[in-house]
Chain A
Amino acid sequence: MENFVIPQTKYTPQIELSFRDRFLRIIGDSYPENAMEVYQPLITKLEKYFSDPVQELQIELNFDFVSTSSKKMLTDIIGILQTYHESGHKIELVWYFPDGDEDWQEQCEMFLEDASFNYRITPFKD
């Protein structure tokens, strides 16, 4: 399976899902008019990724600015990952937030409140 890569733009993040190296990385700003268009293809790829009985995935998320419709999509993605975790896949996630921004820290905690896979919320220094 080939890697899935969507390059970064000024208002959408770089999204990279590596089937070979088993990682998902999303980095950048995210405030498109329609977040569904940006994240739905990733959700479809994740379905394919987890079609193997037991998969591992290392996830790294690092955003600066995210609009509400993107936050909604990210919440849904976290929920989907939780479902995969409950069905036996191994998921580890690191969420980097801008150092010193407690809005972001609080937001990350909200995103991951119901997650029972391994995760860390870590300040990121530029």
Chain B
Amino acid sequence: MSSYFDVHAIYRLMHDNHIQFSYKGPITQEVLISLGETIKEKLHRDDCDAKVVRRVFSVLVEAAHNILKYSTEKTYLDESNKATGIGLIGIGKTEANLFLVFSGNIVSPEEAKAVEEKLVYINNLSREDLNKNYQQQLKQGTITADGSAGLGLFEVARKSDRPMEYCFSPLEDGNVFFELKIYVKVED
């Protein structure tokens, strides 16, 4: 049997890059809960500091909620008529003292532009200004009916120890593939 789909290649790619797990599909709340519980359990078992577990989990949740809300690829899973975004999300340990949380999903060109502007803005902030911006958004920002508070990327940046890495790749249909990589340090 021949096939273009090479499972072994995916396995090797993940293995060689020290990816602990990865998921592609609709990012439902249930998926998020089970990913979250898996990662919490694993990190606790590895004697990872509870604060670091919370940081990694925090980045995972914000990345997942972004996919769920902003991915242009959507599916309808239940009768509530609410669309769930499709995307890729995962966690790896690229270096001994560094966790990688990554996500990838398709967004509209307008969304890509807005996210990129925000990423550039946040990456250029000092730690102090980042906290100030976050606090200001927390206090003066508004939350939309679908529960978006505009805080996700600020929080992600606060939990990570390096600038957020991102890439936008234009697709043939006019949409854009958005990938995000966040690094969380194991110890202070």
CB-CB < 8 A to B138: which residues of A?
71-72, 75, 110
A-B contact count (CB 8 A): 79
Q: Report, as a range, how many residues of chain B touch the other chain.
A: 20 to 34
Q: Is the CB of B54 within 8 A of A65?
A: yes
Would you call B57 an interface residue if the criterion is a C-beta within 8 Å of the partner chain's C-beta atoms?
yes
Given A72-B141, A101-B54, A33-B33 contact (CB < 8 Å): no
Q: Is the CB of B149 within 8 A of A72?
A: yes
Q: Which residue of A lies closest to B57 (CB)?
A: A65
Considering the complex, which residues of chain A in the window 30-73 have a beta carbon less than 8 Å from any beta carbon of chain B? 31-37, 64-65, 67-69, 71-73
CB-CB < 8 A to B69: which residues of A?
33
- What DSSP secondary structure best describes chain B's contact surface? helix
Q: Which residue of B lies closest to A72 (CB)?
A: B149
Min CB gap A64→B, angstroms: 7
Would you call B50 an interface residue if the criterion is a C-beta within 8 Å of the partner chain's C-beta atoms?
yes
CB-CB < 8 A to B130: which residues of A?
none
Would you call B143 an interface residue if the criterion is a C-beta within 8 Å of the partner chain's C-beta atoms?
yes
CB-CB < 8 A to A7: which residues of B?
none
Min CB gap A60→B, angstroms: 20
CB-CB < 8 A to B55: which residues of A?
103
Q: How many residues of A contact B (CB 8 A)?
A: 29
Considering the complex, which residues of chain A in the window 68-126 have a beta carbon less than 8 Å from any beta carbon of chain B? 68-69, 71-73, 75-76, 79, 98, 100-104, 110, 113-114
Closest 9 pairs between A and B when the two form their complex, measured CB to CB:
A34-B147, A72-B149, A68-B151, A101-B51, A69-B149, A69-B147, A68-B155, A72-B143, A36-B147
**Chain B residues near A (Cβ < 8 Å):** 29, 32-33, 36-37, 50-51, 54-55, 57-58, 61-62, 65, 68-69, 135, 138-139, 141, 143, 145-149, 151-152, 154-155, 159
